[in-house]
Structure 1
Amino acid sequence: MKRAHDSQEAEVISTTRIGIIGGGQLGLMISEAARKMGFASVTVLDPTPQCPAASVADQIVGSLKDPVALRQLADRADILTYEIEHINTEALTALQQEGVKIYPAPDLLAIIQNKFVQKEFLARHNIPVAPYMSIETPTDIEQAIQTWGYPLVLKAKKDAYDGRGNARINGPDDIEVALARLGDRELYIEKCIDLDKELGIMIARNERGESMSFPVVEMIHERDICLSVLAPAPIATSLQQEAERIALHTIDILQGIGIFGVEMFLDTDGKIWLNEIAPRPHNSGHYTIEACQTSQFEEHLRAVTNLTLTPTTMLYPASVMENILGERNGSAIVQWAHDYDHAHVFPHIYGKRETKIDRKMGHITVVGDNLNSVYKQAKEARAELSI
Structure 2
Amino acid sequence: MNTEHSQEAAIIARTRIGIIGGGQLGLMISEAARKLGFASVVVLDPTPACPASVVAKQIVGSLKDPVALKQLADRADILTYEIEHINTQALQDLQAEGVKIYPSPELLAIIQNKFEQKEFLARHGIAVAPYRSVSSRNDIEQAAREWGYPLVLKAKKDAYDGRGNARVNGPEDIESARTKLGDRELYVEKCIDLDKELGIMIARNERGESASFPVVEMIHERDICLTVLAPAQIPDEVQAEARKMASESIDRLEGIGIFGVEMFLDKQGKLWLNEIAPRPHNSGHYTIEACQTSQFEQHLRAITNLSLTPTTMLYPAAVMENILGERNGPADVQWSRDYDHEHVFPHIYGKRETKIDRKMGHITVVGEDLDRVYKQAKEARATLSI
What TM-score range do you get, normalising by the shorter chain? over 0.9
Corresponding residue of 1:299: 298
Alpha-carbon separation, structure 1, partners of 2:129 and 2:92: 31
CA offsets, 1:267-293, max 9 Å, x none? 000000000000000000000000000
Q: Tell me if the contact between 2:78 and 2:99 (Cα under 8 Å) persists in the aligned partners.
A: yes
Say if 2:192 is the partner of 1:196. no
Corresponding residue of 2:112: 113
Residue 136 of structure 1 and its aligned partner are, at CA, apart by: 1.6
Corresponding residue of 2:309: 310
Corresponding residue of 2:178: 179
Alpha-carbon separation, structure 2, partners of 1:105 and 1:172: 41
Alpha-carbon separation, structure 2, partners of 1:99 and 1:190: 39
Say if 2:274 is the partner of 1:278. no
CA offsets, 1:149-177, max 9 Å, x none? 10000000000000001000001111111
Residue 137 of structure 1 and its aligned partner are, at CA, apart by: 1.6
Corresponding residue of 1:36: 35
Report the residue type matching 1:35 in the other structure: R
Corresponding residue of 1:19: 18
Residue 183 of structure 1 and its aligned partner are, at CA, apart by: 3.5
Corresponding residue of 1:92: 91
Report the residue type matching 2:223 in the other structure: D
Identity %: 81
Say if 2:251 is the partner of 1:230. no
Alpha-carbon separation, structure 1, partners of 2:100 and 2:179: 42
Matches within 5 A, 1:1-387: 3-387=2-386
SS, match of residue 145 in structure 2 = helix
Alpha-carbon separation, structure 2, partners of 1:179 and 1:42: 42
SS, match of residue 188 in structure 1 = strand
Residue 142 of structure 1 and its aligned partner are, at CA, apart by: 1.1
Report the residue type matching 2:17 in the other structure: I
Residue 304 of structure 1 and its aligned partner are, at CA, apart by: 0.1
Report the residue type matching 1:371 in the other structure: L
Q: Tell me if the contact between 2:141 and 2:171 (Cα under 8 Å) persists in the aligned partners.
A: no
Alpha-carbon separation, structure 2, partners of 1:354 and 1:39: 31
Alpha-carbon separation, structure 2, partners of 1:119 and 1:319: 31
Alpha-carbon separation, structure 1, partners of 2:353 and 2:135: 39
SS, match of residue 60 in structure 1 = strand
Q: Tell me if the contact between 2:18 and 2:78 (Cα under 8 Å) persists in the aligned partners.
A: yes
Gaps of 5+ in 1: none
Residue 119 of structure 1 and its aligned partner are, at CA, apart by: 0.3
Alpha-carbon separation, structure 2, partners of 1:123 and 1:5: 39
Tell me whether 273-282 or 174-183 shows the greater mean CA deviation: 174-183
Gaps of 5+ in 2: none
Tell me whether 106-115 or 133-142 shows the greater mean CA deviation: 133-142
CA offsets, 1:36-81, max 9 Å, x none? 0000000000000000000000000000000000000000000000
Q: TM-score, normalised by structure 2?
A: 1.00
Alpha-carbon separation, structure 2, partners of 1:199 and 1:237: 14
Q: TM-score, normalised by structure 1?
A: 0.99
- Number of residue equivalences: 386
CA offsets, 1:108-163, max 9 Å, x none? 00000000000000000010000000012221111101110100000000000000
Alpha-carbon separation, structure 2, partners of 1:297 and 1:145: 41
